Structure 1
Amino acid sequence: MRYHVRGFRDSQQHAAAIAGWQQVYAQLGPGCLSSELLLLSGERFQIIHEVFDKRVVQYGKAPADRFCVSLATAPTVDDPRGKVASPRLLMLRGGGEFLLHAPAGMALLSFCVDLERLRRLAEIELGAAGVARLTALPALEVPLARLEAIRLAIFRHVGGLGRRRGDDDGLRERSLEETLMTLLLDLWLEVGGNTPRRGVGVSAYLVRQSQALVLAEPARPPSVLELCERLHVSRRTLQDSFQREVGMPPVAFLRSLRLNAVRRKLASAAARGATVGDVAQEMGFNHLSHFAANYHQLFGEYPSETWRRA
């Protein structure tokens, strides 16, 4: 995952720093331009936050294999009312042409996700016709409060990435991609409607299959979105199935299964010289502080206490 924040004095140098885009940025406002670019790129997504102190026009083509959305996140200097521009989420299919006028002072947050994966997941939720209709729209009218919630959700994940480095970069990249995909799917569901519920027999099957998939890959348990892809069901159907069968959301139930597996392993860990951290990572718990808190909440003791008794 690549992360950087840069400042520019030239609009086209700013545009050229965003890899994968065929675009031109032309300065329209007079004076010496100052801009800032935050760019976070993963294998299958991009997050772009741009601020210009002069009016700029942006035009060109989006990356061919991406679906891109943009929202204004700050008032513009040009707007005497001090309000954010119209509450719209701009949308752009891969390879699509765009033309955007950015007033002086506008902050623009954009993110791109893998087009094919989005289409697969969205068709499960909304059907092929619904996805075709939504991907053809140039924009969605969205309440300002909803846009703000999207902005906060993204920045909550992005915050501090430029200062942190470590072996869990791949995990953070995966988590961030899932967040972006989920934000867009949730928004489309609000616009496109909900999917019908399935029967009890199907619910039991989905819970069993989800459990098998998670336990088959304990070091990298599939996320809810990945389970939906593999089982070809909507997130609502999966959630309803778990609530009906086990009375818990899928994330909580499947995490508890892995915590129980850790507890069983810790009972014999001392004999083979393993540490608590070793056992936790074997079962996909890479954030040890979160793991310890979840373990204590479930079992009423910390993993180190279980390990010492082994």
Structure 2
Amino acid sequence: MYVNHEVFNDADRHAAALRGWEQRYDQIGAGVFQSAVKQVAVEGVQVFQEAANVRVVQRGALPAGYTTFGLALGGSAPFSFRGARLDQDAMVITAGAKEFMLHSPADMSLVGVAIDPGVLRMVADAAGIDVEDDLFYRDVIDIPRAAGMRVGRRLVETMERVLAQPALLGNAQAERRFAHDVAEGILDLITYHVPGQSNRLTHACQSEIVRRSHELVLASPEEPVSIFDLCSALRVSRRTIQNSFQSIAQTNPANYLRSVRLAQVRRLLLASRQSDVPVSEAAACWGFTHLGHFARDYKAQFGELPSQTARRL
């Protein structure tokens, strides 16, 4: 495991900070260079966010043995990667140790992911996603802007939770879950380039998928169930999971699963005294380890902070 967050006033030091990358940054824009790099790496997966205030050209070779992805979160102009335009409607997707040149605009923010193809394949197989190999040699693919921003923010939030509490990756199981969460985010975007399959499930079958998913959440209170977990346990594809929740509950599976866990926390708060079960303990009982995010989600769900929930005993 490798966890790091640094700020720089020199482009060469910034370039050298990205673990496992052979590259050089040349400052093109005028002004005092200011930048930051956040990165988390576990076996098979590296995630990083880099930001810089002036235009830079990045040159080097992509990490050998990995498939590399990149999402532009912001910048004063589009990026250019290996001769292809990269903005918030596109994603870098390329395999192998290719030489590259990336022109980064001023005020840029970029999320990068390097994944062992075996990890990506395992998660894709579990989700029932059949990805053609030629997709990974296109350099840049189009994606919906909203989807790209959503996944980009999710990757940053996942990384920042670890940066705030490195102990969250204190064992091999936690590292695997982190790797799977990252791979799932990337697969969310790849599926826009996977031919769709007709949905032949009956309403009853979709309802059963949602019911069993609900039961799986209740059976694993301290360890949140991911979409990957559902695909593995129910032996259905990610697309089937998504279609079933949309049809039955008119929401996406992640929101549904989080709502079920929030409901259990609220039930626990209402059934206990503050002195017996503090809010932090109630949240932890249902897998909410980041109290700030938990309080935000709780208020959005119930219209009040968890500390405001009346204790009836």
Provide the TM-score with structure 1 as the length reference: 0.69
Q: Tell me the residue number matched to 2:8.
A: 7
Alignment check: 8 A CA contact 2:67 2:94 kept: yes
Match of 1:269 in 2: 272
* 1:240 paired residue among 226, 240, 243: 243
**CA separation in 2, counterparts of 1:278 and 1:222?**
19
CA contact (8 A) 1:126 1:192 kept: no
CA apart distance, 1:100: 1.2
Distance 1:184 1:32, change over 3 A: same
Q: SS at 1:208's partner residue?
A: helix
Q: Residues 8 and 231 (structure 1 numbering): CA distance in 2 closer, same or farther, change over 3 Å? A: farther
Q: How does 1:139-158 map to 2 (within 5 A)?
A: 139-141=140-142, 146=145, 150=148, 154=152, 158=156
Report the counterpart of residue 213 of structure 1 in structure 2. 216
CA-CA distance at 1:207 after TM superposition: 2.3
1:127-154 CA distances to partner (integer Å, 9 max, x unpaired)?
43x33231233222457xx2x8635763
Partner of 1:79: none
**Residue of structure 1 equivalent to 2:97:** 96
Q: CA deviation at 1:218?
A: 0.8
For residue 272 of structure 2, give the secondary structure of its aligned residue in structure 1: helix
The residue aligned with 2:283 is: 280
**Cα separation, partners in 2 of 1:105 and 1:247, compared to 1, 3 Å:** closer
2:231 aligns with 228
Tell me the CA shift for residue 282 of structure 1.
0.7
Could you list the per-position Cα deviations for residues 168-194 of structure 1 after superposition, in whole angstroms to 9, with x for gaps in the alignment? Answer: 966xx9998777545533332222232
Q: Which runs of 5+ in 2 are unaligned?
A: 170-174
In structure 2, do the counterparts of structure 1 residues 290 and 14 end up closer, same or farther at CA, with 3 Å as the change threshold? closer
Deviations 1:240-262 (A, max 9, x none): 22344455543444344334434
1:57 & 1:255 partners in 2: Cα distance? 40
Equivalent residue for 1:109? 110
SS of alignment partner, residue 112 of structure 1 = strand
In structure 1, stretches of 5+ residues that fail to align are: 76-81
1:290 maps to which of 296, 300, 306: 296
CA contact (8 A) 2:56 2:104 kept: yes
Question: Structure 2 counterpart of 1:227, which letter?
Answer: L
Query: What residue is the counterpart of 1:78 in the other structure?
Result: none
Deviation, 1:112, is 0.9
1:269 counterpart SS class: coil
Distance 1:122 1:89 in 2: 18
Say whether the 8 Å CA contact 2:49–2:156 is kept in structure 1.
no
User: SS where residue 19 of structure 1 aligns?
Assistant: coil
Alignment partners' CA distance in 2, 1:3 and 1:181: 20
Residue of structure 1 in register with 2:192 after alignment? 190
CA distance change for structure 1 residues 293 and 28 in 2, over 3 Å: closer, same or farther? Answer: closer
Q: Within 2, Cα distance between the matches of 1:90 and 1:284?
A: 33
Number of aligned positions between the proteins: 292
TM-score (norm 2): 0.69
2:172 matched residue in structure 1: none
Cα RMSD of the aligned pairs, angstroms, is: 4.5
Q: Is contact 2:3-2:166 (8 Å) kept?
A: no
- Post-superposition CA distance 1:73-97 (Å, at most 9, x none): 435xxxxxx665424533222x432
Mark the structure with the bigger radius of gyration: 1
Letter of the 1:250 partner, please give it.
P
8 Å Cα contact 2:58/2:101 also seen in 1: yes
In structure 2, relative to structure 1, the CA distance for the partners of 1:235 and 1:270 (3 Å cut) is same
